Amino acid sequence: MKVSRRGFAKLGGLGGLVALLGPWARAQAEAIGYPRALQGPMIGAPGPDHFSVWVRASGLFDVSLEYSTNRDFATFVTGPTVRARADDEACVVLRATGLKPDTAYWYRLRFDGELDRFQPLPHRTRTAPAGAADFRIAFGSCCRLQYDADQRIWNAVRALEPDMFIWLGDNIYADSDQVSTLVDLYGRGRAVERLEPLLRSTPQLATWDDHDFGFNDSDGRSPFKAQSLRVFRNFWANPSYGESDNPGVYFKQHYGGVDFFVLDGRYHRDPTDQVDDANKTMLGARQKAWLKRELKASRTPFKVLAIGGGWSSAENEDGGDSWGVYLTERNEIFDFIRDENIGGVVCISGDSHMGELNCIPRSEQGGYDIYDLCSSPLAQMPANKNIRQVPEVRVRDTWTRSVNVGLMRFDMTGDTPTLTYALHDVMGEAVWDPLVLTPDDLRNGVRTWDRKSDPKELERLQRFRQGKGYYGFDPPEGWPNRPHYGGSSD
């Protein structure tokens, strides 16, 4: 059919031409091939009245969310539609809203109006509870696809049935300044067979560490940190990313009566080898002010601080890049918690390539003892850095025999809320006796570190304080008599 230029104008341009050509033109406008999920779906930030779904589409077309309380979708709600864009690597986030709390929902996605022929069955997730609840949060770090493409740890994670999972950095090992490398590794990581069922059902939140932020031990001087942040935002569905006037990946998430403060230890970080004084920062002034403000406003019995590197002094050594070489700022934050009488703070961390449960005994400075549970690695070679590192207090012996995952169980439903810390190996077995805490353990003036620690660890600590080797052998003559004997932190 031929239309002259004058006739095209009379038809009202392209819109009139499409109307004239009818079904043939509309058919040609549809996506070619089989529109589908390239990776995902993955459940993102949760809430009592909503759930979020991340997916990466196979093309630049509309993606729509449908959801129902019935598996057969006899009745369902058509949710939002978002168009996949090249600038976002075809990643979209869709949110189902107006939902009931603590309720199971089935969901499915349409790509350019069609269901994904390669995922014919709907997926199920659950909204967050509206108030205090009994729930589980799993977490881990250091997931190196190049080292372990099979990742058996996800069998154990799924069996533990967490209500949410928090990724604590080194979620990919890009070690690159190329966007294409970041995108490729995020995409490949989302297609791990044992992981996919967890992603599709359980809310996932994330921060980053050096290997997904940039190169090993990279900091705020990175010239490509803005593009790393853009890719990170495309591939995660956190509730927020920094503040409008302060970029980063930090955010606050409430769940079941507990506040989680997930921090960014890279974007604003000063170099690790800078002198550790009041001018040195890991968080940056704006993020630190945000953390103090949000902690002071929080009224939950427990408050969880989450970051990539450990909170103890264990890596206060040559090559260390955890809080161990930012102790001035760390102690400033802990002093603020004490001085503002903020109770219930506990910490989780990653990066160390071994499972740890350490304590910073702040009761000796008028505060309370702050515990740090570190889970690392999820898919990476475990390390035995424990033989050269000694934190303030080791509550449990380190775990270096296998990959591992951390688990926090919160029971907020009774008269006395409780938090139970545990670490699980690749088979799902708990590797030590759990640590149980109540809000009464986490208030100013209360000392708990000695009665919560394993007797064997207390013996080792006493030996070390006498100038002897922590693990039963004395350091060679001439070695510095300090908690740390040097070595790389990678």
The whole-angstrom separation of Cα 19 and Cα 12 is 10
Is the same domain home to 176 and 62? no
Residue 476 lies in a domain: no
Is the same domain home to 11 and 90? no
Residue 247 lies in a domain: yes
The whole-angstrom separation of Cα 243 and Cα 290 is 9
Strand-strand pairing, 404-411 and 418-425 = antiparallel
**CB atoms near residue 459 (< 10 Å):** 11
Is the same domain home to 197 and 112? no
Is the same domain home to 272 and 361? yes
Residue 471 lies in a domain: no
Residue 340 lies in a domain: yes
Is the same domain home to 65 and 166? no
Buried b / exposed e over 371-384, threshold 16 CB at 10 Å, is: bbbbbbbbbbebbe
| pLDDT value for 123 | 98
Is the same domain home to 121 and 223? no
Burial of 336 (0-12, 13-18, 19+ CB in 10 A): middle
The domain boundary residue, chosen from 98, 126, 154: 126
Residue 482 lies in a domain: no
The whole-angstrom separation of Cα 374 and Cα 310 is 7
Residue 486 lies in a domain: no
Is the same domain home to 311 and 354? yes
| pLDDT value for 7 | 42
Is the same domain home to 153 and 219? yes
Q: Across the strands, what pairs with 114?
A: 111
The domain boundary residue, chosen from 77, 103, 126: 126
Q: Which domain holds residue 15?
A: 1-30
Is the same domain home to 186 and 99? no
Is the same domain home to 243 and 353? yes
Is the same domain home to 62 and 173? no
| pLDDT value for 479 | 56
Contact assessment for residue 154 and residue 135, using Cβ atoms and an 8 Å cutoff:
no
What would the pLDDT profile of 152-193 be if each residue is shown by its tens digit? 999 999 999 999 999 999 999 999 999 999 999 999 999 999
Contact assessment for residue 333 and residue 282, using Cβ atoms and an 8 Å cutoff:
no
Sheet of strand 164-168, all strands in order from the earlier edge strand to the far edge? 204-207, 164-168, 134-140, 404-411, 418-425, 435-437
Contact assessment for residue 425 and residue 431, using Cβ atoms and an 8 Å cutoff:
yes
Q: Quick one: how far is CA 480 from the chain centroid? A: 36
Return left, alpha or beta for 184; rule: phi > 0 is left, psi -120 to 50 is alpha, else beta: alpha
Token pair belonging to 8: 């095209």
Helix and strand numbers (H, E) in the chain are 12, 21
Backbone angles phi, psi at 163, to 5 degrees: -90, -15
Residue 328 lies in a domain: yes
Name the DSSP letter for residue 128: P
Is the same domain home to 26 and 41? no
| pLDDT value for 472 | 78
CATH of the domain at 358: 3.60.21.70
Q: Across the strands, what pairs with 99?
A: none
| pLDDT value for 5 | 39
Q: Across the strands, what pairs with 57?
A: 37
Strand segments, DSSP code E, in 30-112 are: 37-43, 51-57, 62-68, 77-83, 91-96, 104-111
| pLDDT value for 344 | 98
| pLDDT value for 356 | 98
Domains: count for the chain: 3
Give the angle subtended at the CA of 171 by the CAs of 169 and 177, to the nearest 5°: 95
CA distances from 427 to 89, 160, 189, 235, 406 (A): 36, 11, 21, 29, 13
Residue 188 lies in a domain: yes
The domain boundary residue, chosen from 79, 94, 126: 126
If the chain, 490 residues long, is cut into consecutive pieces of 10 residues, what is the mean pLDDT of each piece? 41 42 47 90 98 98 98 97 98 98 98 96 98 98 97 98 98 96 98 98 98 97 98 98 98 98 98 97 98 98 98 92 97 98 98 98 97 98 90 97 98 97 98 98 98 97 91 67 42
CATH of the domain at 47: 2.60.40.380
